[in-house]
Amino acid sequence: MFECVVAEDEELLRTSLLLQLGEVWPGLRIVAECEDGASALEAIAEHKPDVAFLDIRMPGLTGIEVAAALSEVSPRTQVVFVTAYDQYAIDAFEQGAVDYLLKPVARDRLQATVQRLQARVAAGRPDPATLEALLQHLAKRPAEPEAAPPLAWITANSGRETKLIMLDEVAYFRADSKYTVVVTAEGEALLRTPLKELLEALDPRQFRQVHRSTIVNLKAVASVVRDDSGKGTLRLKGRSETLPVSVPFMALFKGM
């Protein structure tokens, strides 16, 4: 039986895709349904599925970033990108052997994609060079105007005091029950904003999720160490503690 991970942050579109997959590929086993890139990457690393349907735009990690990490966490997984209409991306997809689906997903297009996937899965692992070339092409896409500028500062509670904290001063954010802990060189404070919601508002060029419960400021990272099991440890500037990096997220640091 083939196994699959589906990652789409819009619940209605995710539900629709899952229903259609059940109709056109009844032998497919959905091992994880994800609404953000971080959970998708962890699910793929855990299950090593045959296929991953990845929305290109997701909170935190994009589908492109998740796909770029697959060579280390699950090289046999076939990728299908799900995207809104974008001619620049479509032109890139048409040049290679990586499938894509346009939103809303049409049944006949999905059926054709499934037939190609079944043939590729049966033939073995995907061609990493083809996927790498596509990802490099997509990375060069023209810059798009941002809907809103990323946050520059936040307010957080420390006892009875409400602090204004500039984001450049933050070392990392850590999920703690229903709160988020903000850690700086000077101490800790509490936010009521959930980690996932916070991630959507942060500048992805500066802040990266390195664990299900941790977002780190890349400017605060002194070094990254990988152990024999593939897990990583971050050493920070101005803090004595270290931060664990789960295996899936270590792929994001391969350029460091």
* 61 DSSP assignment: S
The more confident residue out of 37 and 99 is 37
**CA 224/CA 255 separation, integer angstroms:** 11
Per-residue pLDDT, averaged over 238-253, amounts to 87
**CA 237/CA 24 separation, integer angstroms:** 52
Q: Does residue 30 have a pLDDT over 60?
A: yes
Confidence band for 125, pLDDT divided at 50, 70 and 90? low
Confidence band for 108, pLDDT divided at 50, 70 and 90? very high
Q: Does residue 96 have a pLDDT over 60?
A: no
Confidence band for 145, pLDDT divided at 50, 70 and 90? very low
Per-residue pLDDT, averaged over 210-226, amounts to 92
Residue 220 vs residues 99, 115, 256: alpha-carbon distances, Å: 38, 47, 14
Six token digits for residue 157: 């509670």
**What is the reported pTM?**
0.73
* 192 DSSP assignment: -
